[in-house]
Amino acid sequence: MLRRRNPVRTGHRRRPAAGLAMLALALVVAAVLEVSLGPVTIPFMQVLPKTVAYLRGDHSTAAVVMGAIRWPRLCVAVLVGAGLAATGAVLQAVFRNAMADPGVIGVSAGGSLGAVLVITAGGASVHAWAVPGGAFAAALTAMAVVYRLGTIGGRTAVHTLLLAGVAVGSLCSALVTLVLSLTPLETMQQILFWLMGGLDGSTWMSAAWLAVSVAAGMAIYMAHADALDVMSIGEEQAEGVGVPLQRVKRVLFVTAAVVVGVCVSISGVISFVGLIVPHLVRLWLGPRHRSLVPASALGGAVLVVAADIVARMALRPVELNIGVVTSCLGAPFFLYLLRRHAVSPWRSA
């Protein structure tokens, strides 16, 4: 059993409740802009009436745009952002490295390889869920390989797991490049569009699939919040206070892989969300995971929704890929982290 008192230092931080409220308010504002703006501008006061009209069978342009396109897209953006950012917060604790993100376990690259193979084989024209299904299956396969390589003698060492994730991710990325070099131009464009991440194909079905996966993942993360607090200090300390370390790492790693695999299968690869948001939230609200995980989820949702607004509106009528926007934000921040943590990668905690 864990001690009730949490040994993680907090220092002077904003109260978690206030921070969560501010992030929730920011998400509401971003959501209003997301459903109002676009090629078909719908005034805010018409959002609810048009949504209700769609539910009642109205098939006018504004009603269909609102009910069949923008609301599903908003839901997918919120859930993908929440899933990636919350998973990033968990993985940073497991690996004890503030520069860890969902990409380090090889799941994103594995999902990309699966999607690329399905698209190349023509599966996208066979069934709408062929590409997401292939991406998810490949993501879980990559996770299984990484976990097997990182487990030696029944114990999972985080450093070995990290190296295995990097190796498997690099191999999958190399195979994606190989496939791209052998595919026709038309297919290559379709693949690149998917690899750069996007929400244009969002549906209520994909939103429901995400909702179940992300909600289950969040429940598991929160159930292990106290263990994550101690694990972020060190494995010896965690075992010393009674954390069943190997079981917890196995549960969290599998959960992270499933959540990220579902996100990647629906939206493609959206980079840096799981790196930027948890790091900023930790600096803002402190390292306790009982507040860090939900705050990261809200922050990730805000970031992805805001990035989607920029992607749709910046170069109208051309729509950018959302991964391009998040990469433009994330790459400079990653360089900042490299400089900040040149000596110790966990100074922020």
Domain ranges of the chain: 66-340
Decide: 347 and 341 in contact? Cβ < 8 Å.
yes
Who contacts 18 (Cβ-Cβ below 8 Å, separation ≥6)?
A: none
pTM of the model: 0.87
Q: Residue 182 to residues 75, 235, 305: CA-CA distances in angstroms?
A: 36, 46, 35
For the segment 21-63, what is each residue's pLDDT rounded down to a tens digit?
Answer: 999 999 999 999 999 888 877 888 888 888 888 888 878 888 8
Amino acid occupying residue 165: G
Q: Collapsing DSSP states into helix, strand and coil, what is residue 315?
A: strand
Examine the pLDDT at 2 and tell me if it is beyond 60.
Answer: no
Q: Which CATH number fits domain 66-340: 3.40.50.1360, 3.30.465.10, 1.10.3470.10, 1.10.3720.10?
A: 1.10.3470.10
Q: Collapsing DSSP states into helix, strand and coil, what is residue 96?
A: coil
Any idea how long the chain is? 349
Q: Which residue has the higher pLDDT, 303 or 340?
A: 303
**Cα-only R_g, the chain:** 20
DSSP symbol at 124: G
DSSP 1-38: ---SS------S---HHHHHHHHHHHHHHHHHHHHH-S
For the segment 217-262, what is each residue's pLDDT rounded down to a tens digit?
Answer: 999 999 999 888 888 887 777 767 777 778 888 899 899 999 999 9
Sign of the alpha-carbon dihedral angle for 234, 346, 148, 210: positive
Who contacts 240 (Cβ-Cβ below 8 Å, separation ≥6)?
A: none
